[in-house]
Amino acid sequence: MAATKRQQTSADEPSFAALVPPACLWDHHITQWLHDDCPKFDAGGLVVGNQVQTASIYCKSAGVLAGVPFAEAVFKKLDCTVEWLHTEGTTISKEQAAGKEVVARITGPARNLLLGERTALNILARASGIATRARELVDHVRSNGWKGALCGTRKTTPGFGFVEKYALLVGHAGTHRVDLSSMVMLKDNHIWSAGSIAKSVAVARSAVGPHEKIEVECRDLKEAYEAATAGADIVMLDNFSPDELRRDAATFKTKFPHVSVEASGGITGETLAGYLSDGVDIISLGILSQGYPAVDFSMKLPRPEGMATKNASC
């Protein structure tokens, strides 16, 4: 495969690309995504042929650039070279987007460039949308003086959650549970099936041992006390109103200061500020990976000199 050029991130902004395992471990995703888009013949590829060209990827709406290692893997799979002109995590301003900011240049056989185009752009659009929403909300809570963790949830797209959780990190939010094997969360279905909060915690602890955290979803302060007494590390105060949350989180912390409190359920960007309090350590939001506005990207091959440009668009 051709080598990839990339700007280095700044010293105070880690490159989350280093967190992603080598592509050989998730190459099946790339193969499947490309196969979904081109299951048989590619007549467009016949039209453009194998002439080596350099295409440009343009960002046409404001947002945080994210999804770089995944989009890059798509093109590398097709033997193309990628040069990123912006570091992942960079915010593309409205002014830059209005001028159709070039964020990357891709070099390779023309047919391969177009084979990877839509898959790579879809990845960038969705990952950047999540990172943008996350960055906006994290900046919002920090401006209000809250120091807790703002996290996503497992409300992700099947087959694409890997990318969506990664995008949360680029947006400075937390991933929460990456999957069912990350931490233990006991919700109403677990508790009802086990018979009680205490029993569900005990059974879970027997499986995961003392080093893995257990979280319990609680409907009121009484259930939160039961969960903490049973050995839960985190209690989720679920679907509380802002006033109820501030009151009960503060009361709970006076009795169990070592147990983390998470707020979740029905919280939106518009209501988020009301849930910020010293007694709340974590706020999880499904909206970070559901209903976000995608960032607009396009890719273009070079236009031949002399070809009409009227009404042409990136």
Q: Which of 74, 76, 108 is nearest to 3 (CA)?
A: 76
Q: Report whether 173 contacts 142 (CB < 8 A).
A: no
Query: Which token pair is 78?
Result: 């097709």
Q: Which of 133, 114, 5, 1 is nearest to 68 (CA)?
A: 5
Residue with tokens 């849930």: 275
Residue with tokens 């013949």: 41
Cα separation, 14 vs 89, in Å, equals: 10
Q: Report whether 18 contacts 96 (CB < 8 A).
A: no
Instruction: Please compute, for residue 76, the number of CA atoms within 13 A of its CA located in the half-sphere on the CB side.
Output: 18
User: Is 155 assigned a catalytic role?
Assistant: yes
Q: Report whether 65 contacts 89 (CB < 8 A).
A: yes
Catalytic residue among 100, 155, 187, 213: 155
Q: Report whether 296 contacts 92 (CB < 8 A).
A: no
Q: Report whether 116 contacts 74 (CB < 8 A).
A: yes
What are the residues whose beta carbons fall under 8 Å from the beta carbon of 286, sequence distance 6 or more?
Answer: 152, 153, 155
Give the catalytic positions in this structure. Answer: 155
